[in-house]
Structure 1
Amino acid sequence: MTGIDLIKLGFDPWLPPLVLLCLAIMGMLLVGLYARLGGKAPITRLSLLVVALIGLAGPSQIREERVALSDIVAILVDRSESMALSDRTAGTEAALAALKARLGQVQNLDVRVTYFDGNGAGTALASGLDQAFADIPPDRIAGAIIISDGRFIDGDDAARPFPVHQVLIGSPRERDRRIDLRSAPKQAPIGEITKVIVRVEDTDKSVPLTVRVGTDAPQTLNVPTGEDIVIEVPIAQRGLVPIAIETPGVAGEVSTANNGLALSITGVRDRLRVMLVTGQPYAGSRAWRNLLKSDPSVDLVQFTILRPPEKQDFTPTEELSLIPFPTRELFLDKIDSFDLVVFDRFSRLSVLPDTYLDSVAQWVEGGGAFLMLAGPSEGLDEGVQSTPLSRILPVQSRGEPIETAFRPALTERGRTHPVSASLAEQSDTWGKWLRVQPSTATGDVLLEGAGEPLLVLGQVGRGRVAAVMSDQAWLWRRGYDGGGPFDELFRRTAHWLMKEADLEADRLVLRSQPGRLLIERQSSEDPGPAQVTLSGQTFPVPLTAAGLGVWRGESQMANPGLVFVQSGDKSAFIVAGIGNPNEARLLTADPSALAGPQAKQGGGSVTWVGRAGTGPLPDIARLNKSQKAGTDALGLRRAGATSVTATSRDAILPPWAYAMLLVALALIGWWREGRLVISRPKAKA
């Protein structure tokens, strides 16, 4: 409706407001002084001042023509992952169509539809409301209607002073059996039993629970619901220990996506024991010793072989401070207590017979770690290469050392291997080395120089080996020719040898996205198809090369759930088909997150329309601004907003009227003061 809806008072002053204020103050002072001195017409003079000021202020009458604006209601549709996992998508569309049709019949009401989803912590409604009303003036908001499952992480923040109603896609009697992870360590000591605590929530009093640890046979327990369950997991080896915990689905439950969980615990040693055996002393011995001692997680045992036992030493016994080398104890009796054995410039001596060295080789093949720092003796067939340890080495020496200056460089494999990939950007600034032992590599070459392998990694049996084919690496630590990443590179090499999980080059990585399982296999050889097991069914997933040593594949997951993936000797568990695990935790519909906080503000109703979204909708009621929405109808406020279409301004009095008033008041004032005499003609006798 259009008309003159509002008349307001306005001003169009002849002088700046500050000047008018100064005149008013001066005038009031003069009138006050006049009255104090006994003037006869103070009221008249005050009236004269007021009329003059009003005239100078230019009062006017402003007329506004307004048109009524429609109210706006926003429908917010939940597109979070929990809605899809609980199969509410179709019901959401049905409820949206019915709601739009119902609201379309209400006069003077515009409908806006927006969509919102979740963040890493879950479904966030507050940001969705802010976005829906970002460009709407507050005086046009009639209310909001949320179509969702009611699972919000920010119900308190989402409450608004206007009506907010919930249309829930579901019913109040939904059932969902789920497993919650209560606590689990990230790491656990090798050889100990760690505890994983879970809880199963369901209406049944007890349920079967299946636990799988790696490739071990699954164990099934019957556990009570609603209580913390302690699962004992033995940590038998270093590295990742994959664990899966699952309970079977039950008829009528909303979803089985949260019936299982997958986690990994890294097996670690409290202290890493390293044995460093040094042969002929040289300038680099201290560099390697200091490197290993600087690691707070390493306990270092070092022995330097200064002379063979057949060489006579005529120093008096009471003056000797050296102890006999405990060869049998170290290389036979206690070899299993070490995590890494390092031979630095080793020369074959009778102090270490082949029996002892063969024991080290067997220990490595059974899961140990060995690092060879090559010296000149390797070129003379008097080093590690000439012992039983040669069968585990990732290189074969050939010829005498090459004496030349060269700059070590990363190979293509070195640029992708976890041990050295992070060093690639600085490789152009590395300093030179001066000697290299020629060799033929059978393992992964990460570093090369002068056309020869420098750093070679390999695996033998269940153990790991590495070889540094130069005794010049210490030049980097001394800063020669600019130095290089001695500490970082060789510390990472040592930890790779001891199977640190973050440095694994041969590993299986699983990722989950909504409706998809992503598989990444890092391997130096083609691993072939990965075998995926879901709900007892196993099927292959082809892996294609995606770079040097990287193979990838993916599988569509129509029904999210716990899967087991096997690729070569690597295996892992994951709950696949889910992008955000927080969205899968609670899958039943529940209005409580918003209903309580909203009731304290603008009010709102809760309507259950079933998972098909076809349930009846309540009536729509229009409310005054001061009314709260009830719980039995979709109450929407009449905002009553208007828009100005035209304005006109008219002076309350014309200037000549103010002039006449001023003249009249001036004459009255003079008359009151006796200055104005009006004479009358005298009457005739």
Structure 2
Amino acid sequence: MNAAASGVVSTVTGVHFAAAVPLWALAGLGLLGLAALIPAFRARTPGRWWRLLVLALVLGWLSGPNLVRQQWRAQPDIALLVLDKSGSMSVHHRAAIAEAARTALVAQARTIPNLQLRTITVPEDGAAGTQMFGAINAALGDIPPDQLAGIVALSDGQIADLPAKPGFTAPFHLLLPARGEETDRRLRLIDAPRYGVVGGSVTLRYVVEDLGPVTLGGSADVTISRDGAPATVTNVAVGAVQSVTLPVTREGPSVVLLAASALAGEVSPVNNQQIVTINGVRDRLRVLLISGQPDPGERAWRRLLKSDPAVDLVHFTILRPPDKDDLTPLDQLALIAFPEQELFERKIANFDLIILDRFQNRGILPAAYLANIARYVRNGGALLLEAGPEFASPQSLAHTPLGTILPGQPTTPGAPDDMMDFPAPLVDVAPAGSGITVAAFRPRLTDLGLRDPVTADLSGTEGQATPDWGHWYRLIDAQSVHGQVLMQGAEDRPLLILDHVGQGRVGLLLSDQIWLWAREHDGGGPQAELLRRVAHWLMKEPALEENRLSATIDGGALTIDERSLLPGPPPVVAITDPAGMVRRLPMSTIGAGHATLSVPVTQPGLWRVSDGTRTAYAASDTADPPEWADLRATATKAGALIASTSGSAHWLEGAAVPQLRLVAPADVGGGFDWIGLRRNSAHVTTGIALTPLLPPWAALPLLLGVLLLAWRREAR
């Protein structure tokens, strides 16, 4: 029987046979008995019917008939309501339509006797798409198969884990929050390198595709922009693979946005764009180091540059100036000739950085080559000059064409000759008017130095302008100083100056005694760290820019980092999300000239950050690329599954929510405005009572009585 409601107890009465002998023996006994009765029926013996009755009683007794009374408790039919909350369900009003349908279905289920409706949610699942059947199979583990009435899924039909064969037989119904099969345009990346060598180029390959029930074809406009620069627009054929080559002009990340024009009637333009972050890296850093004369600092430079596997070092030391004539044979002057023409005329542009270590103008380099160095810097090159007493001499590079790009000039036209090569750090005084300060001092940071990334947070500073670094003992006095003075020495005189010249950069270190730190003199100091930062700033490493606004996205958060040499409160930044909404938020100070801010990333796309002067870009990839690759609502993907389970598909937008009905298994497909759930009539037996119909105490007298009647009938 079918119970009207779950939990109702019903009683069923029937007959059950528990044979005392095997069925084959019982059947054989019956056949033998009938064979023995055949002669009696042919001869029309008067007691033949009584004999047949005796045989029936014997067979009935041996079959063990019992009267059975069973008590059943009806079990409810269970339907599973699956609510898709993956990323694609956030398009348009899908989430609201699905939620309204869920509310209506839950209310309907409460009015249907013997039906339970269990709701599960399919959340966003990383980069694997909508894993609906993973959630369904987990839920089915708690539902007995004979109670499953059906599965109703509120989804756009973009299911990533559709099984080839479902693990259930109940109907699968798909309710889609749309009006019908939709169309969508997408821009898909085929090849997008994440890294490129500075000075080279990278090639992106992409295709624009139109998805829908009908192949549309045609063309689309593709806009390509980079770091907010003016965009280029190209008309491309839909479905054809396209290529675009982009130069890698600088080190660090560069954000490229590719966006296809919208398709009329498409679901959403969200997947019409793709964002690629290309990180510019240097293949090898080519450094030219020229030491004017052997000194202890030369070894410090070599050790620093040779320890970096990314540096190709070319090093020359001038052992003997050309104006010195000591009658030494030419074949004994040096191992190789100084290739000044090759270095400073033909190949100067190949170097990323030129370092002049205590180099003085004694006719080694003609003025034309020094002018080439100045031109090289103005065109984007980098120069670092470590000055010793030679900088204050008549042969100072400041008095050459190179002096036009230096951020400081010596205070006197020339130092006495006996000061030129004085190496010891323990000298107490310098001759008056030499332009050289000789005194023990600790290098310390200026106010700009505390804010500039090159010197801020150096080991031992801990935010202090005067760290406990080892002493130096010689400082070259400078005048006409311009640029950024980051460190100072004795009597607050400039020690380290950095400056921008044209498209390039220049650094001037007004002492030749940084090597004392390398030898741990008086406790030493961050020699390698400081020189490495200066060198990389000169080669335009983005992380060391003194006035910089950067934005990165990692772990679902947009992190904004700001560096500034200007004093004042941290800026208020304008954050523009991919949808064009703008928020203005204040940054938090974490150090001198250093502020930061972190905000959650709520949607994929290009994020723009501006402090009113500078602009930074960050790209947020989609959290689940397969989920956003196809945004159509479609019943096509799940069509085979729906057919194999006798389910149905219904479009919800602009239509009423279908009615739930518990029906016979043959009718579960439903109709135009209703869906069928399978009635299982599942039950649990709660009790059984057996009453023998022919107990031995009754069967034996009955059998004897019939035999007696049969004998008396035949005796007449």
Question: How far apart, in 1, do the equivalents of 2:670 and 2:455 lie?
Answer: 63
Instruction: Return the TM-score normalized by structure 2.
Output: 0.64
Question: What residue number does 2:206 align with?
Answer: 198
Shift of 1:109: 3.0
Size of the aligned set, in residue pairs, is 582
Aligned equivalent of 2:352: 339
Contact kept? 2:452, 2:565, Cα under 8 Å: no
| Equivalent in the alignment of 1:176 | 184
Mapped to 1, the partners of 2:364 and 2:163 lie a distance apart of 76
TM-fit CA distance, 1:562: 6.0
> d(CA) in 1 for partners of 2:482 and 2:164?
62
Match of 1:311 among 303, 324, 332: 324
Code of the residue aligned with 1:148 in structure 2: it is S
The match for 2:649 among 607, 624, 639 is 607
Which of 233, 238, 250 is 2:246 aligned to?
233
Contact 1:92 1:613 in 2 (8 A): no
The code of the aligned residue for 1:76 comes to V
Aligned to 1:280, which of 293, 297, 302?
A: 293
AA aligned opposite 2:628: A
Conserved 8 A contact 1:115-1:128: no
Percentage of pairs with the same residue: 34
Instruction: For 2:296 and 2:248, locate their aligned partners in 1 and report how far apart those are by CA, in whole Å.
Output: 41
Structure 1 residue matching 2:269: 3-state secondary structure: coil
2:100 to 85, 94, 101: 94
Instruction: Give the aligned partner of residue 499 of structure 1.
Output: 540
Q: Per-residue CA shift, 1:553-605, capped at 9, x if unaligned?
A: 899999987677777886666678966655433211245666667988xx584
The structure 2 residue matched to 1:150, chosen from 145, 150, 157, is 157
1:77 aligns with 2:83: yes
Counterpart in 2 of 1:185? Answer: 193
| Alpha-carbon distance, 1:456 to partner | 6.1
* CA–CA separation in structure 1 for the residues paired with 2:550 and 2:237: 33
- Inter-CA distance 416–238: structure 2 relative to 1 (3 Å threshold): closer
Contact 1:521 1:552 in 2 (8 A): yes
Counterpart code for 1:584: W
- How far apart are 1:444 and its partner, in Å? 6.4
Deviation at 1:468, TM superposition (A): 5.1
The more displaced of 445-454 and 191-200 is 445-454
SS in 1 for 2:323: coil
1:218 paired with 2:231, answer: yes
Q: C-alpha displacement at 1:96, in angstroms? A: 1.8
Residue type matched to 1:176 in 2? Answer: D
CA-CA distance at 1:269 after TM superposition = 4.8
How big is the shift at 1:314?
A: 2.2
User: Which of the two has higher C-alpha Rg?
Assistant: 2
Paired with 1:383 and 1:582, the residues of 2 have a C-alpha distance of 65
Structure 1 unmatched runs, 5+: 7-63, 648-685
- CA 1:418/1:532 → structure 2, altered by over 3 Å: closer, same or farther? farther
Partner Cα separation in structure 2 for residue 142 and residue 198 of structure 1? 46
Deviation at 1:219, TM superposition (A): 3.1
Question: Given residue 335 of structure 1, which amino acid in structure 2 is its aligned partner?
Answer: I
Which amino acid in 1 is paired with 2:271?
A: N
- For residues 283-330 of structure 1, give each alpha carbon's deviation from its aligned partner in whole angstroms, at most 9, with x where no partner exists: 332332233234333322111122332222321123233444333443
Q: In the alignment, is residue 258 of structure 1 matched against residue 302 of structure 2?
A: no
1:202-252 deviation digits (Å, cap 9, x = unpaired): 233222223334566533322111121112324455555543322221321
Give the conservation status (yes or no) of the 8 Å contact 1:166–1:604.
no
| Structure-2 residue corresponding to 1:584 | 628
Match of 2:502 in 1: 461
Q: How much has 1:510 moved relative to structure 2? A: 4.7
Alignment of 1:522-541 (within 5 A): 522-525=563-566
- Provide the secondary structure at the position in 1 that maps to 2:271: coil
Give the Å deviation of 1:410.
Answer: 12
SS at structure 2 position matched to 1:607: strand
Is the Cα–Cα contact under 8 Å of residues 143 and 637 in structure 1 kept in the other structure? no
Distance 2:446 2:682 in 1: 73
Match of 1:297 in 2: 310
The alpha-carbon distance between structure 1 residues 341 and 248, as it changes in their structure 2 partners (threshold 3 A), is same
Q: 1:654: which partner in 2?
A: none
Match of 2:384 in 1: 371
Aligned with residue 259 of structure 2, among 237, 241, 246: 246
Mark the CA change 1:541 to 1:297 in structure 2 (over 3 Å): closer, same or farther: same
Once residues 554 and 236 of structure 1 are traced to their aligned partners in structure 2, the CA distance between those partners, rounded to angstroms, is: 28
SS in 1 for 2:294: coil
Q: Distance in 2 between matches of 1:488 and 1:153?
A: 51
Counterpart of 2:375 (choices 355, 362, 376) is: 362
2:231 maps to amino acid: P
User: Offset at 1:146?
Assistant: 2.9
Say whether the 8 Å CA contact 1:258–1:561 is kept in structure 2.
Answer: no
Report the 3-state secondary structure (helix = DSSP H, G, I; strand = E; otherwise coil) of the residue aligned with 2:184: coil
**Residue pair 2:388, 2:511 contacting (<8 A) in 1 also:** yes
Distance 1:187 1:3, change over 3 A: closer
Superposed counterparts of 1:666-685, under 5 Å: none
Secondary structure of 1:177's counterpart equals strand
Mark the CA change 1:614 to 1:3 in structure 2 (over 3 Å): closer, same or farther: closer
What's 1:417 paired with? Answer: 453
| TM-score relative to the length of structure 1 | 0.66
Rounded to whole Å, the distance in 2 between the matches of 1:492 and 1:157 is 59
Cα separation, partners in 2 of 1:580 and 1:379, compared to 1, 3 Å? farther
Change (3 A) 1:124 1:175: closer
Q: Deviations over 1:231-287 (max 9, x none)?
A: 232445555554332222132111111222232434455433211111232233233
Please state how far the C-alpha of 1:114 moved relative to its aligned partner. Answer: 4.3
Superposition RMSD on alpha carbons, in Å?
5.5
* Residue in structure 1 matching 2:175, options 167, 174, 181: 167
Question: What letter is aligned with 1:196?
Answer: L
Asked if 1 retains the 8 angstrom alpha-carbon contact of 2:222 and 2:236, the reply is yes
* 1:320 aligned partner: 333
1:607-626 to 2 correspondence within 5 Å? Answer: 607-610=649-652, 612=653, 614-617=655-658, 619-621=660-662
Give CA-to-partner distance per residue, 1:512-564, whole Å, 9 cap, x none. 799999866554458897697989x9x98757443354567899999987677
- Partner of 1:129 in structure 2? 135
